[in-house]
Chains A and B, each alone.
Chain A
Amino acid sequence: MGSGLSSMNERTLREVEQFLYREARLLDSYRFAEWLELFCEDVRYWMPTRSNRYPLNSKAISILDASRQEEYEVSEEDELAFMEETKDTLQRRVARLDTGMAWAEDPPSRTRHIITNIEVEDLVSKDQMRVYSNFVMYRNRGEIDQDFYVGCREDVLRRESGELRILSRKIVLDQNVLLAKNISNFF
């Protein structure tokens, strides 16, 4: 850990919290154009997959082996992900929603992003910070359809002209086989 609250400016922490809560509110109220503005032009928005992999060198499987999670469970950067987006493709995804013919969102999902466990870590670079958060995204749609997407995010926020912007976002969903029929919302 680079730093805890001791060296963290409390005001920055509150600012980050409010930033993430506002982002969640924009998503949950279909204000996608405003949501897009929160991302840097060179953003990397990445949602890897997770699998149950076999430990390479042990007979007795230790779940305490920290490397097991990152190394074996989460797909590599050059592997297939659930989402691997740029600002441009995020914009295209939003533009598609705006055609009135994106059937997976017609009727639109009723989403609620619950964002918790926010931790802020200073980065070496002065205008950047790493932010960890957990999420529960509840989706209800149509009559009785519902899905829970639960996981964590690792963001790098950059200050641009005084405003916080998302430079990178890694979204790790706590599922192997995705239990929802699709991912038609954002995280």
Chain B
Amino acid sequence: MSKVFSVLFLISLVAYFAFAMAEELLPGFVSDYFNPHLLLIPVLIFLTTALVYEKGEVRMASSGGERLTSKSRKSQSLLIFLAGAITLGILWIGGREIETAWRVLMAVYGGLLVVGILTVLFKE
């Protein structure tokens, strides 16, 4: 399942980017119909779901089917998301001189970098 949600995450991310850039190049092209930044909601939902399923599959694989609900794993995931969210928030506020589409892009990029780096670092 994590693979399915990973693919959905990537598709929604690319779709978000395509619509946001289209709006940037041709103002009103997308926003006449819907706010392209709303696509960030499925992006975040799919990413979170993929992560949750991924964790479950790792647990199953590493324990031969035995359930592992260690406190450290939960706190680890929480810390990764928190760090990503903090970065996203700081960059969003800091980048207020930039137009919205690029501000979102920069903040999401920074957030993803932090989440990516911490995910590799915290992998046991």
A binds B: no
